A and B are shown apart, each in its own frame.
Chain A
């Protein structure tokens, strides 16, 4: 028996690591991976709560989140490839053509 709080704390730690990754890394691929980690942390909390309440809502929510993440990643990676094709560089610091 593991208290549900342990799971929530773990998910909070994973979420924080993801959020920190989004803020400090400059490679869009790693930033994107950090976002996936944040989604996973949210999912872990959801499944943990789901088992507390003995309801399927949380699990089904996670199922949908996984589907959405797949769609988002497909689009995001297509955009990254496209940017790389024109710029030969994907550093976010150099994505500064839009300023005014």
Chain B
């Protein structure tokens, strides 16, 4: 069963493990004050993993390897590259976090979680899927509670763990019923078995509900979203950024593969359920984001709303829909990481996440303010940034699938979004620091922040302007689902 394809299929995972081992070995040799250099090693290592995988590990025709555990196709590969990118950016952003950045374990846990995400994107079997989800989550529980002296952080870690354990237990019950129903744990075999079974709609809907609890928690759609704002606020900010981007995208990777591949025969029912969830998620996320004065909580609610927009692509249940999901997640990962990165860089100097304390930022660091403008306009869905093109594709997929009402809800919600994103920018550009000269209070950036933020900002612009290659890759990935 082992041949070169087998190894190529899990090449990124093997290489991530190599980087993790390197960190474990190298960390003790650094003096305590140099420990943050582990961040350079992690980011560089992940970048190298990306390059090597892109050169040698590209998939050919979709194939299921390793005893049916993982699928080697473009969908998985594209997501893996996205996660590696997000991981590299996050480790750069971790470096100058005073509480976390000097501790080698943080980078190790980040890598373990990345490994889980890679496997989530590729798994073709429920056993593998369950293990991958837990391998992603458990390191993230630890990272959320990493700042032990800070009761908010431990509390966030514990809340995340408790809700995560609960929802994965419910999902596991769904998996076991699915196994009992079909007699197989392989997602690709489930499709044939489920298609053959007569009048089983009630049972399948029950199972779908159980699965939705688990996956809905991971992608934080309403009504499984309540943990997100608390956890994002309490967790170390780089971890919150990682949670809201890569972890969410991994959830969507699973959601799309599982529902598109295993339940195509029941698409009438689940697309309707998803459409309702998308509507509620967008509306609740945006309305709750409106009154927020803490930027981290605002980003938390906005990330809930974005999960709703992505859902429109899932609801479409077409090649265009799947491609738009992949594209939206790519644009969203870059944009939201940039937004969180800026919040980190700012709060490190001014020691606050309150919107009011962003007053006069444009004079304190014009470059940073400009990048913040790019990030927030992209989140709001303004051209020429990535968020705009992504929204256009998602809405187009919705219209093509006949969900015009859903798209109208989406557009109305985007308008609410524009209001609160621009409200933050109002503080940054129009307001001044009270009774102070901004020139005397600069917001300097350290080198890791500069590198990470500039790359992310370029990414936001590139995804928005040169979107053709990105979209053709997304399309290639989406084709693998049908």
Contact = CB atoms under 8 A, between A and B. Distances in A.
The answer to whether any beta carbons of A and B sit under 8 Å apart in the complex is yes
Interface of A: 8, 15, 18-19, 22, 28, 31-32, 35, 38-39, 41-43, 45-46, 48-50, 52-53, 55, 57-58, 60-61, 64-65, 68, 71-72, 75-76, 79-80, 82-83, 86-87, 92, 95, 97-100
B162 A61 contact: no
Given A42-B173, A79-B161, A100 B180 contact: no
Interface in B147-201: 148, 151-152, 154-159, 161-162, 165-166, 169-170, 172-173, 175-177, 179-180, 183-185
A48 B181 CA distance: 12
A3 to B, nearest CB: 13
B162 A8 contact: no
A72 B177 contact: no
Contacts of A22: 166
A43 B155 CA distance: 29
Nearest to A65: B172
B138 to A, nearest CB: 6
Interface of B: 126-127, 130-131, 134, 138, 141-142, 145, 148, 151-152, 154-159, 161-162, 165-166, 169-170, 172-173, 175-177, 179-180, 183-185, 229-231, 233-234, 292-294, 297
A64 B134 CA distance: 11
B177 A98 contact: no
Contact of A60 (B127, B170, B293): B127
B156 A98 contact: yes
Contacts of A95: 155, 158-159
Given A58-B179, A72-B138, A83 B158 contact: yes
A75 B142 contact: yes
B131 A68 contact: yes
A80 B233 contact: no
B138 A75 contact: yes
A98 B155 contact: yes
Contacts of A55: 183
Q: Which of B142, B158, B169, B294 has the most CB of A within 10 A?
A: B169
The SS class assigned to the A binding surface is helix
A45 B177 contact: yes
A1 to B, nearest CB: 18
24 contacts: A28-B162, A35-B169, A38-B169, A38-B172, A42-B175, A45-B173, A50-B179, A57-B179, A61-B175, A61-B179, A68-B138, A72-B138, A75-B141, A75-B142, A76-B141, A79-B157, A79-B161, A80-B158, A83-B154, A87-B151, A95-B159, A98-B155, A98-B234, A99-B230
A99 B230 CA distance: 7
A69 to B, nearest CB: 9
Contacts of A92: 162
A15 B162 CA distance: 17
A41 B173 contact: yes
Contacts of B173: 15, 38, 41-42, 45
B216 to A, nearest CB: 16
Nearest to B134: A68
A42 B151 contact: no
Nearest to A40: B169
Contact of B229 (A57, A79, A87, A100): A100
Contacts of A60: 127
A22 B167 CA distance: 11
A31 B151 contact: no
A46 B152 contact: no
A39 B294 CA distance: 37
Given A61-B127, A76-B158, A83-B155, A39 B183 contact: no
Nearest to B172: A42
B347 to A, nearest CB: 15
Given A18-B169, A58-B185, A83-B155, 13 more contacts: A22-B166, A38-B166, A52-B180, A57-B127, A57-B179, A60-B127, A61-B126, A79-B141, A82-B154, A95-B155, A100-B233, A100-B294, A100-B297
A10 to B, nearest CB: 13
